[in-house]
Amino acid sequence: MNLSHALVLECWPNKAGWEDYFGARPLFRFVDTRHGDNFENLRRLRHMPHSINAEDAIRLFQETGQGEEWHQHVWSQAMDEVFDTIDAHPDVDAVIGYSEGAMIGASVIVEEMMRHEKTGRPRRIKFGIFISGSPPLKMEGGDRVVCQLEDEAGKVIDIPSFHIFGCDDAFLGGAIALYNVCEDEHSRMFDHGLGHIVPRDAENVGMLADILEEIIPKVEKLNRQKENDSQPGEDEGKNDLPRRTSLHEAQGPNE
């Protein structure tokens, strides 16, 4: 697996009042919300107390947009455009997403699994890196786009995943809810201790590079095992990735 062959999905909302929050312009989104005001949800979520359960926090906003036809249309369009990009680049076998891009990436993994089950379409995505993400969305009943939450849908992402977020993120509940729907055995997290950002400081970038250098060969090994329909031995493959890494733990005396 070569991360140069990963599909990079970023979210930079272009909306008045958010110019500095997500970084410098230009700002882009996957989902066209010009027909409505999905930023109202973000404004509310920014003020959500950290003490609330991650799934409950997301559930408060789950009914938003129900029955609004534009919402279902633009979601389907966003999914189709990403799949068109994947199909046009046969080397892509992983996704890296930030913010809305992480939500899109997670949703693509869920959608790809559904398409494989329905049509036999080969699954291409073998690894996901999610930065300050949110749980995947799924079309249900043809008229609702619904968050997939662990206490309702269970584990919906079965491929290895690496989750990067900061404990000071106003959207922390979304990142935790995304982590919770990934298979425990092959999902890992890194807490950079900051907010809703892509960490760019030398210390965090260096640690992330070291972790990915360790993780990627193990992800490749797990994928080879799956492709060969073989089961890992008692001590091989299980809990093979570092379970949790944070800024403080990475600097601990035992590291």
Structure tokens given for 253: 């005396």
- pLDDT tens digits, one per residue of 141-186: 766 788 899 999 999 999 999 999 999 888 888 899 999 999 998 8
Identify whether the C-beta of residue 127 lies closer than 8 Å to the C-beta of residue 1.
yes
- pLDDT tens digits, one per residue of 59-109: 776 654 455 555 677 888 888 999 999 999 999 999 999 988 899 999 999
Q: Which residue has the higher pLDDT, 78 or 230?
A: 78
β-pair partners for 6: 94
Cα separation, 93 vs 2, in Å, equals 8
Cα separation, 197 vs 165, in Å, equals 8
Strand-strand pairing, 144-147 and 137-140? antiparallel
Does 194 have pLDDT greater than 60?
yes
Average pLDDT of the chain?
Answer: 77
- Cβ neighbors of 41 (< 8 A, separation 6 or more) are 61, 64
Confidence (pTM) = 0.78
| Structure confidence at residue 39 as a pLDDT band (50, 70, 90) | low
Range from 144-148, 160-164, 191-195, 210-214 carrying the lowest mean pLDDT = 144-148
The DSSP-derived string for 42-64 is HHHHHT--TTS-HHHHHHTTTTT
